[in-house]
């Protein structure tokens, strides 16, 4: 004999899963927003301190060392998070967002403050809309995520090539492609994070580390979407 489930039982389970997903997404967005505030705060502080700007921009070894350090932290956080505690993972995420603020401070030298502000709001609106779509859609976005990831690899290669070509046409193609890529990844990552919620429910360590990984993915989507939109809408100094 199999147990009989009423419509109310199914509805209760569905409501419970929805509640778990909503709570988890709230935690993810909380950490992501905290990281964005940290990055913005550090960027503004550095940009308003000529000595720090001169130190970062005047020393290519230091500047590229910071970028390599950022990449290393992301690689370690993603690849070894299961081997570290939740508190260590959280600390690394916060440290990464602060370190990213150091390198992003250079945008205040290249673009006007008004265009940075307006582009931020464009980014926030676009990101919010696509994240909401990824959360509510019933469509499986795995194929979209895979396509965007492959296109991202192509865009990175094109950006490296354009360092030598200095082609304005390729610059704009990469910029618009970058926006499309991270719009798609925002929806895909949100759906993936939503599906992760039930697997980490009830365990503090797994829940915190899952929230940090989710926040890192959305944080990277937001930052990169902002940078590509700034290349299009930003007013040069």
Domain ranges of the chain: 7-233
Would you state the pLDDT for residue 6? Answer: 53
Phi, psi of 166 (to 5 degrees): 55, 45
CA distance 135 to 122: 20
5: helix, strand or coil: coil
H/E segment holding residue 27: helix 7-47
Would you state the pLDDT for residue 14? Answer: 56
166: helix, strand or coil: coil
Phi, psi of 129 (to 5 degrees): -65, -45
63, exposed or middle or buried, with CB in 10 Å at 0-12, 13-18, 19+? middle
Length of the chain: 237
* Sign (positive or negative) of CA dihedral 115, 118, 121, 125: negative
The encoded tokens of residue 9 equal: 């039982």
Residue of 183, 187, 218, 182 whose CA lies nearest to 31: 218
Q: What is the pLDDT along the chain (237 residues), one digit of tens a residue?
A: 445 545 444 444 455 888 899 999 999 999 999 999 999 999 999 999 988 888 888 888 888 898 899 989 999 998 888 889 999 999 999 999 999 999 999 898 889 999 999 999 999 999 999 999 999 999 999 999 999 999 999 999 999 999 999 999 999 999 999 999 999 999 999 999 999 988 887 777 888 999 999 999 999 999 999 999 999 999 887
The encoded tokens of residue 145 equal: 């995520």
CA distance 222 to 2: 48
User: What distance, in Å, lies between the first and last C-alpha atoms of the chain?
Assistant: 75
Q: Are 68 and 76 in contact (CB under 8 A)?
A: no
């Amino acid at each position: 004999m199999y147990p009989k489930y009423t419509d109310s039982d199914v509805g209760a389970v569905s409501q419970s899963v929805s509640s778990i997903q909503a709570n988890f997404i709230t935690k993810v967005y909380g950490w992501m927003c905290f990281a964005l505030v940290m990055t913005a705060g550090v960027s503004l502080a550095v940009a308003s301190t000529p000595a720090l700007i001169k130190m970062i921009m005047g020393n290519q070894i230091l500047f590229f060392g910071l970028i390599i350090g950022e990449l290393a932290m992301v690689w370690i956080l993603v690849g070894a998070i299961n081997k570290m505690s939740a508190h260590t993972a959280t600390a690394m995420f916060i440290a990464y967002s602060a370190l990213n603020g150091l390198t992003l401070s250079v945008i205040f030298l290249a673009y006007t403050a008004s265009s940075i502000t307006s582009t931020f709001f464009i980014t926030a609106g676009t990101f919010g809309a696509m994240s909401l779509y990824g959360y509510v859609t019933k469509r499986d976005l795995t194929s979209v995520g895979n396509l965007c990831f492959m296109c991202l690899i192509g865009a990175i290669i094109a950006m490296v090539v354009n360092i030598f070509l200095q082609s304005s046409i390729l610059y704009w193609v990469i910029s618009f492609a970058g926006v499309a890529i991270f719009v798609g990844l925002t929806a895909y990552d949100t759906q993936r994070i939503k599906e992760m919620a039930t697997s980490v429910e009830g365990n503090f360590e797994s829940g915190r580390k899952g929230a940090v990984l989710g926040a890192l993915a959305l944080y990277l989507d937001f930052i990169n979407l902002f940078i590509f939109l700034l290349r299009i809408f930003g007013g040069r100094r």
